[in-house]
Chains A and B, each alone.
Chain A
Amino acid sequence: MKFKDVFEETYLALAVNKARSGLTVLGIVIGIASVIAMISVGAGAQGSIEASIQSIGSNLLLVYPSFARGVGEQVRGGFGSATTLTVDDANAIASQVQNIAAVAPQVTTNAQVIYQGQNTNAQVIGTTPNYTQVRNVQIAEGNFVSDTDVQSYNMVAVLGPTVVSNIFATGTDPLGATIRIKNYNFRVIGVAASQGGTGFGSADNAIYIPLSVAQHFFTGNSSVSTVNVEVASAQDMTQAQSDITNLLLQRHNIADPTHADFQVLNQASIIQTASAVTGTFTTLLGSIAGISLLVGGIGIMNMMLTTVTERTREIGLRKAIGAKRKDISTQFLMEAVMLTGIGGILGVALGYLISLLITSLSGTATAVSFESVVLAFGVSAVIGIVFGYYPSRRAAGLNPIEALRYE
Chain B
Amino acid sequence: MIECRNIKKTYGEGGDASTQALKGVTFSVKDGEFVAIMGPSGSGKSTLMHIIGALDTPTSGEYLIDGKNIASFTDDELADIRREKIGFVFQAFNLLPRATVLRNVMLPLLYDGVPEEERKSRAKKALKAAGLDEEHFGHLSNQLSGGQMQRVAIARALVNNPAIILADEPTGNLDTVTGEIVLDTFQRLNEEQGRTIVLITHEPDIAEHAERIIHVKDGLIVKDGKEHVRRRVHHK
Cα(A2)–Cα(B109), bound, Å: 11
Evaluate contact between B94 and A313: CB separation under 8 angstroms.
yes
A321 contacts which of B75, B76, B82 (Cβ < 8 Å)? Answer: B82
Q: How many angstroms between the C-alpha atoms of A323 and B88 in the bound complex?
A: 13
A297 to B111, CA, bound (A): 30
**Which A residues are CB-close (under 8 A) to B83?**
321-323
Residue contact B110 to A9, C-beta cutoff 8 Å: yes
| Contact code string A372-407 (vs B, CB < 8 Å = 1, else 0) | 000000000000000000000000000011001000
Q: Nearest CB to that of B95 among chain A residues?
A: A317
A7 to chain B, nearest CB (A): 12
Instruction: Give Cα A318 to B103, complex, Å.
Output: 13
* Residues from 274 to 303 in A contacting B, C-beta threshold 8 Å: none
Q: Tell me if B50 is interfacial: C-beta within 8 Å of chain A.
A: yes
CB distance from A406 to the nearest CB of B (A): 11
Q: Across the interface, which residues of B come within 8 angstroms of A321, CB to CB?
A: 82-83, 88, 107-108, 111, 156, 160
Cα distance A312–B90 when bound, in Å?
Answer: 15
Q: Are A323 and B79 in contact (CB under 8 A)?
A: yes
- Tell me the smallest distance from the CB of B212 to a CB of chain A, in Å: 25
In contact, B96 and A1 (Cβ under 8 angstroms): no
- Cα distance A370–B48 when bound, in Å? 61
Kindly state whether residue B62 has any CB partner on chain A within 8 Å. no
- What residue of chain B has the Cβ atom nearest to residue A317's Cβ? B94
Separation of A320 and B75 alpha carbons in the complex (Å) = 11
Q: Quick check: B53 and A322 within 8 Å, CB to CB?
A: no
Q: Is the interface of A mostly helix, strand, loop or mixed?
A: helix
Q: Is A324's CB under 8 angstroms from B94's CB?
A: no
Report which of A1, A313, A322, A327 forms a contact with B82, defined as CB distance below 8 A. A322
Tell me the bound Cα distance from A5 to B160 in angstroms: 17
Instruction: Say whether A16 faces chain B, with CB atoms less than 8 Å apart.
Output: yes
Say whether B113 faces chain A, with CB atoms less than 8 Å apart.
yes
Write the A299-336 contact mask toward B (1 if CB under 8 angstroms, else 0): 00000000000000110111111111111000000000
CB < 8 Å: which of A314, A320, A324 contacts B55? Answer: A320
List of B residues within 8 angstroms of A319 by Cβ: 79, 82
CB proximity of A268 to chain B, nearest CB, Å = 62
Are B50 and A325 closer than 8 Å at their CB atoms? no
In the complex, the answer to whether B113 meets A2 with C-beta atoms within 8 Å is: yes
Assembled-state Cα–Cα distance A134/B94 (Å): 82
Known contacts A12-B99, A16-B98: A324-B110 contact under CB 8 Å:
no
Partner of A401, one of B50, B92, B99, B112: B50
